[in-house]
Amino acid sequence: IQTQVGIIGAGPAGLTLALWLKKHGIKSVIIEGKSREYVEARVRAGLLEQNTVDIFEQLGVVDRLKKEGQEHHGVYLSFNGERVRVPFGDLTGGRNITIYGQQEVVKDLTNAWLEGGETLLFEAPASKIVDFDTQNPKIYFEQNGEEGILECDFVAACDGFHGIGRKTLPKDVYKEFTVTYPFSWLGILAYVGPSTDELIYAYHERGFALHSMRSDKVSRLYIQVSNDDSVENWSDEEIWNELAIRLGTSGWELKRGPIFEKSITPMRSYFIDNMQSGRLFLAGDAAHIVPPTGGKGLNLAIADVKHLVDGLVDHYHNKNEEGLKNYSKIALKRIWRAQDFSNFMTTLFHKSDEHGSFTYQLQKAKFDYIKTSKAYATTIAENYVGLPF
Ligand code: FAD
Ligand code: DHB
């Protein structure tokens, strides 16, 4: 197979890249290791920044998102049962977030790509990337027990944290940074309408809790658990009890319903300080992971894609190599910002030290400051909805 941009991975990054390049008349082919059913059923993020929704709008893939997604104009932050609302409108000049499940995003993008008659090979894992230091890189992949070769001008590795893109990047072109947090998230999906109109992030002496949602009938909630915990240790009733305590505030009640998804996600910050070598470019989780508090992971993947599209359009249409040459440098500014914000939200709301300790007092001081300072609330709001490009 031959194309202009060979894309590895049909997650949010790979699919968005393909559709956006197409809009600019640049051809691409996507190869995905897993089956379509598997990818479309994978439950992950749910928070879309204004930027991300604007990009999907430009790509013409928001019909269902506009109907089924929920636009939120503020967020509740809770500390030991005391709740404050941070409104976005006043603080960010009218920018918002939208709650819409990542697997729905993936379905919409996949449909748009395939309905346009384009190529996306499922169950076709890439095995190696070669010749990316020449003008004719190649991606080797397997499908139905046979080896295939995708020849292209550029390789976009949008293949997530465990993909081959980062492993292929020569070790001497980047430094890596990792922080592992001493806690994980137990996340659930439940058939019950949300008990809140906007998301609630809560610190509690028993640990963090987050109330999110997917629709009028489905809620998404998370609690902090220890790294060695497992879903088998938690009955549905224990999860609901814990959520009710951690999210609780006077006069408020948590609605409960049947839980149909339970999983544990470890929390990690990871990034590399260079995301390219020759004609190989990394985007999204392939190059960085943020802890999920604040919902930046998916949005950051889409932001990388924006910068990569800019560079490729400059190359193909304007005969200008600056955008591609500076891709990592440009993308990393936003990545650093998101790393800082995700780390801030994570350390503010998780229990990492004794209730009442020095660390706890700093957390409480920050929370009290949000209540009284418009300036402080503004920095949270503008990072949360996503800074403009
Ligand atoms: P991915 O979505 O990982 O897509 C990469 C794709 O590449 C996958 O489809 C994979 O199958 C494919 N692939 C991998 N290797 C190969 C190969 N060799 N050949 C071909 N294809 C390959 N973010 C939040 O903001 N909030 C959350 O609550 C949240 N929860 C998460 C829970 C989990 C369990 C995980 C793993 C992530 C979560 N994230 C969350 C992060 C968010 O989902 C990611 O940031 C987002 O998926 C990044 O998109 P991506 O396209 O870069 O990578
Ligand atoms: C969701 C996940 C997040 O990590 C977050 O900060 C907000 C919402 C969610 O899955 O809905």
Residues with CB under 6 A from ligand 2: 45-47, 99, 199, 212, 220, 292-295
User: Which DSSP symbol is given to 247?
Assistant: H
| Superfamily designation of domain 5-45+102-177+269-344 | FAD/NAD(P)-binding domain (3.50.50.60)
Residue 212 CA to ligand 2 center (angstroms) comes to 6
From the number of C-beta atoms within 10 Å of its C-beta (0-12, 13-18, 19+), residue 53 rates as buried
Specify the residue for token string 């889409």.
302
Looking from the CA of residue 124, the nearest atom of ligand 1 is 20
DSSP letters along 30-61, please?
EE-SS-HHHHHH-----EEEHHHHHHHHHTT-
Output b/e per residue, 195-218; b: 16+ Cβ within 10 A.
Answer: bbebbbbbbbeebbbbbbbbbeeb
Looking at all shown ligands, the one closest to residue 282's CA atom is 1
pLDDT digits (tens, 9 = 90+) for 269-326: 999 999 999 999 999 999 999 999 999 999 999 999 999 999 999 999 999 999 999 9
Considering every ligand atom, which ligand is closest to the CA of 384? 2
Question: Do residues 231 and 264 make contact, with C-beta atoms less than 8 angstroms apart?
Answer: yes
Tell how far the Cα of 344 is from the centroid of ligand 2, in angstroms. 15
Residues recognised as catalytic:
72, 201, 292, 296, 384
| Residues 43-86 pLDDT 10s | 898 999 999 999 999 999 999 999 999 999 999 999 999 999 99
First-to-last CA distance in the chain? 35
* SS3 of residue 337 by DSSP: helix
In a mutational test of the pocket of ligand 2, which residue from 72, 76, 210, 213 has the highest number of ligand atoms less than 8 Å from its CB? 210
Domain ranges of the chain: 5-45+102-177+269-344
Does the reported pTM lie above 0.95? Answer: yes
Q: Please list the pLDDT of the chain residue by residue as tens digits (389 residues).
A: 999 999 999 999 999 999 999 999 999 999 999 999 999 999 898 999 999 999 999 999 999 999 999 999 999 999 999 999 999 998 999 999 999 999 999 999 999 999 999 999 999 999 999 999 999 999 999 999 999 999 999 999 999 999 999 999 999 999 999 999 999 999 999 999 999 999 999 999 999 999 999 999 999 999 999 999 999 999 999 999 999 999 999 999 999 999 999 999 999 999 999 999 999 999 999 999 999 999 999 999 999 999 999 999 999 999 999 999 999 999 999 999 999 999 999 999 999 988 889 999 999 999 999 999 999 999 999 999 999 99
Q: What is the DSSP string of 101-157?
A: -HHHHHHHHHHHHHHTT--EESS--EEEEE-TTSSS-EEEEEETTEEEEEE-SEEEE
d(CA 204, CA 184): 15
Give me the DSSP letters along 279-310. Answer: TEEE-GGGTEE--STTS-HHHHHHHHHHHHHH
Is the minimum distance from the CB of 126 to ligand 1 under 6 angstroms?
yes
ipTM of the complex: 0.96
Mutate to test the pocket of ligand 1, among 44, 128, 307 (most ligand atoms within 8 A of CB): 44
